[in-house]
């Protein structure tokens, strides 16, 4: 169970690092802002500071989950599991909040929240 949990947590961490890249680095590229439903380049330029900030939240959660895995598999079992649970729980709850902003965000919320939710549950069961 621990291996399966680690796989899902690791994938969730990688996904959130990728989301960081899209929001904080690649935001002004049309293929990125269109994915987020931004209307045009002007709107992408206006929303860039918000996306930049949001991207770092995703980065910190992804890095926290990865660090939690490292600790969990080392001699810091309790600290590692706690960090994994906190980060994956935060990712899943952020996806839940995203759903509350409108039905058009359901796909994004499922993409962002499914891996961490599975990782969270499997970590609890490990």
At CB < 8 A and 24+ separation, what contacts does 38-47 make?
A: none
C-alpha 96/C-alpha 86 separation (Å) is 15
Check residue 44 and give its pLDDT: 94
Q: How many CB atoms lie within 10 A of CB 44?
A: 19
Q: Are 123 and 48 in contact (CB under 8 A)?
A: no
Check residue 83 and give its pLDDT: 97
Check residue 102 and give its pLDDT: 87
Low-confidence ranges of the chain (pLDDT < 70): none
Number of H helices, E strands in the chain: 5, 0
C-alpha 64/C-alpha 57 separation (Å) is 11
Half-sphere exposure of 79 (CA within 13 A, CB side): 7
3-state secondary structure of 66: helix
Check residue 75 and give its pLDDT: 86
* Tokens 């947590």 found at: 9
Check residue 85 and give its pLDDT: 98
């Amino acid at each position: 169970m621990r291996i399966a949990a680690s796989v899902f947590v690791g994938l969730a961490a990688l996904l959130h690092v990728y989301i960081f890249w899209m929001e904080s680095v690649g935001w002004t590229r049309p293929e990125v802002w269109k994915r987020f439903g931004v209307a045009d380049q002007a709107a992408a330029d206006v929303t860039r500071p918000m996306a930049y900030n949001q991207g770092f939240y995703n980065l910190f959660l992804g890095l926290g989950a990865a660090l939690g895995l490292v600790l969990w598999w080392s001699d810091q079992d309790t600290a590692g599991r706690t960090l994994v649970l906190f980060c994956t729980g935060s990712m899943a709850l952020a996806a839940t909040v995203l759903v509350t902003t409108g039905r058009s965000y359901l796909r994004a919320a499922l993409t962002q929240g499914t891996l961490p939710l599975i990782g969270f549950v499997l970590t609890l069961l490990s």
